Structure 1
Amino acid sequence: MPSSRSSDNKTVHALMLDPSSNDAEQTLNILRNSGLAVRATQVVNEDELTDALARQSWDIFLAKESCPQLPVTKAQEIIQHSGRDIPAILISDDFNAAKVSEAFDNGFQSLIPEDDAHLLETHVHRELHHLEDRRRRKQAEAQLNEAEKRCELLLANSRDAIAYIHEGMHIYANKSYLELFGFTSWDELECMPIMDMIAPAHHESFKDFLRQQSRTPNEMPYDFVGVESNGTHFDGSLSLSKASYDGEACIQVLIALRGNDEQELQEKLKELSNVDALTGLATRELLLTNLTEVINNAANNELNAALAYIEVDQFDEWETKLGLKASDEIRLSVADWLMEVATEQDTIARIGDHTFALLRSETDKEDFKTVCDKLLQSFSERLIEANKQTISGTLSIGVCIINEQSPDAEQVVYDAHAAANRAETGGGNRVRIFEDAVDGVSTDKQQKEALRQIQEAMETGRAHLLFQPIVKLHGDSQEFFQVLLRIRDEKDEPVPVSQLFPVTQGT
């Protein structure tokens, strides 16, 4: 199999249309044996499919044609109507060219013969890889959009006069540029030729400068006499460079203002770099700086602190359904809510596309767990307005407790992220505290899954004790009992002892 299986290290949520539980389990075993950690939900009718789509997001849809209550074409129509990006694979005992074409027409990505396990495995891995590529592209587009907003913010706050021109006409100018030439609004300057900003005596030399720049671009300055809107002249120096504005190639014009306080400008840029352009929260960089300080305080003063890694469970679903503009509205709403519930000592940061963090100094494990439980309750009750729709959702929160033994800031964030992943794979809407045996990188994949089952069973009441009498045939008649720990999985099925206890003994 190809090495590009990007889904091997995380849980795959599979939605299965299959009338037979045994056949569905056999399909799951094929995928699990190929290295995928699969969690599946079986549906057999339209109501179950609709409920499953409303409950969570899915990574793959596997459909058998033999389901009498819900035709595969109807099921695929429901999924497509939901607006979800869920790759669909049809499994059929009728495999021929016409059937493949029909499956494609109905929106399926693949048609697999029922008896070809290898082909099923290959196509599932391929579709998961393509899905991850699409999600990464969407995330990259969001990050690009955020970077562009940051650039616009930097341009707007720059004390240097900066403008963009296309075919000699102004298409953008910042406030400093407008003020330099005596304009009060962009409307006065829009589409005005840059030649009108240069004194007539310098027109020829400026044209020569433009021709030279087109042949051998460089940032050598050009000294000129500028003309303000009221006709007043001033001496200036400009430089040109290639740029892009709104996806269109253009030229950036930069006019350095005399008497600039370079230190003040650098401080302004540093301040802006610490603030998320969309939400106004702290950036990841500022969080790491503050987190490093908190870790040092914990080491020197034995003061515990905690970091919460916060993810919105339904964000991908909302973004797919409501669009990118709505996703920004959701991020802003989450940021506003965090600022409402945070205390003055907290650092609130946006550290990912839809990932936030809350850093609190001077707290302990139990108090902070209570705080995070209250965050879950508060967010689940909050109504969010996005794209003219009212929605509500849940969070997955991973917590890393900071003490004198804590590693560096990056590792603390990574550990909190690992705990958040456990909260999300457990169904979301829950808080999980980082446990090295369960979340740590030193534990292999099989051990991690077994330890996760033990942890989840203890937290959800699925662990229980059995007492077995021990009777001595000779000697002391005192009563003895062997105590056995047993757990049940998410389906309330007993987990084999051999699957669990070698792991616990090894830790």
Structure 2
Amino acid sequence: MIVHTDEAEAERILSILRNAQIPVRPSRCIDEDSLKDYLAQNKVDMILAQALQTELPLNSVCETVNRIGKDIPIVALLETIDHDSIAEAYSAGIKHFCSAAIKEQLVLEIINVFTALMTRRELRKFESDLNDAEKRCASLLDSSKDAIAYIHDGMHVYTNNAYLEFFKYDDAEEMEVTPFLNLVAKSEVPATKKLLRDISSGKIPDEEINMKLKKEDGEEMDAVVYLDKATVDGEPCVQFLVQPPKVNLEAEKELREMRNRDMLTGFYNRSYFAKDLSDKVNAVRSGKSKGHSLMYIQIDAAEKLEKELGRGNMDLLISDVAPFIKECIGEEHTFVRYDDHIFIVELEGQIEDAIPVAEHISKKIKDHFFSAGEKTLSITISIGLTQIIEKTETGNEVILILEKELEKSLDKGIGQISIFDPAEEEKKARAANQKWIDLITGGIENNQFILHYQPVISLHGDEVEHYETLVRLKDGDKTIMPADFIGVAKRHGLITDIDRKVVQNAIEAIKDSDKNVALFVKMSTDTLSNPSFPVWLSQQLKASAVSGEKLVFETPESELISHSKQIKPIIHAIKGLRCKFAIEKFGSGLNSFTLLKHYPVD
């Protein structure tokens, strides 16, 4: 949103922003009522407000924004950075200002203000997500069977029901006014005081603490206490998790291991894998690990097999396949049952080492017969393969790549392997880019850019037949659309050559036609900013004896606004050759009709 009394100056400011590659969808207000109505009904990221003007002064803009209660930053546009202008901005409650006359300052200030706005929006979202998470956690704590309390400066600030039951307290409010020291056996008090002092200074022990605690009725008992950092209502505290002493450490270890395992296959389960994958990604990103490859294995036609065998026999098949995979690859690797019919294998080392392993297991599975109850059958597997590298950001990114590679392998047929090698993919991208460059330059040299013609019919009737020219690139039997090659051409400075080839072909088509035709030809900003283009165009028209009025050059409105200074003299020169000019996508600017005063539009 721009608040400015001078429409031309507002357009100039927007043009500066577009030239700086800042996307804008502008609107303009000049009075308080229109500003209030617009802000109430539309989402606005920022307001650029002209200072030292009376129609809609800065304090009115600021009051209007404050009344609707939205976080919309206001940037005061000052004619000069002086004491009076800055004082007006500050007194109005506006924290951001810049000089509209200094382009660099204008652009940088808007970028900084918008970045701060995005940060605030993200922070609000994170706070909302955190609030939701804390509510879920509070619900889980309340229903947890573990005795948990939050303690600050030795006092209870939260206790769950299991904690109250553990110490035989009936009233949570009574527990809240009971210091933790009152729950400790007399012999443990000195050590506990030291522990609480250490906690207050930020020293929280990582290991479990064996303590002798005291219930409300005075009965003493042995317990194990685990400490961890926590917060309650934004205030830091310490979580105390109290458990009876472990009778059998080995049994506890086995139980923890069982929680991480899939009961059918003995492989690790999905929840363990998520944490393990995150740890491996972080290790590779920090340089602590050289690399890991992941193999994503799916039993082909698994759903069809399950319908034929039944769920019970399918489970028996999976329980036969899983140990076979482990035996073929080697027990030293990490094996995961990721889904009903999908396994993931984590392999140490680079992807080059994993490829022969994938080929080996694929062949071994294909040649083996598996049991599914009373039935014996052979199966095939499809494999997706990738590698964790330093550029990998999250575990989810790795999984998405694996799933895509599996889809690619399935597209090839059953029993196939698809490999995503990040380094190789980068090489392929560069090679593909070079291929496009070669294709475009070859098309220019060999006249493989062809024109299609779409009629433009006048509703009022016209003796001249108008056609829109649509450029295509021929590559053998294939016809390539502009969306596929224009971007590459712009990035590599080939777009002006394409434009000139299109103009040549258009002039040739007009010359060869026995009808009274005129062609609309789209031109890029690069061409319409090139001082040599009108000279070249004049030569082409003279050589073909074609009148310039048969050509209508067109360019988008946004380009005219953003590159007005460069384009304007070129358009006047083209008009001098009797060529016509049209604005494409007219109406997308702040006040499109103003352009008609500055350009000789036909």
Q: TM-score, normalised by structure 1?
A: 0.48
Structure number with the bigger relative contact order (C-alpha 8 A, sep ≥ 6) is 1
Tell me which structure has the larger Cα radius of gyration: 2
Q: TM-score, normalised by structure 2?
A: 0.42
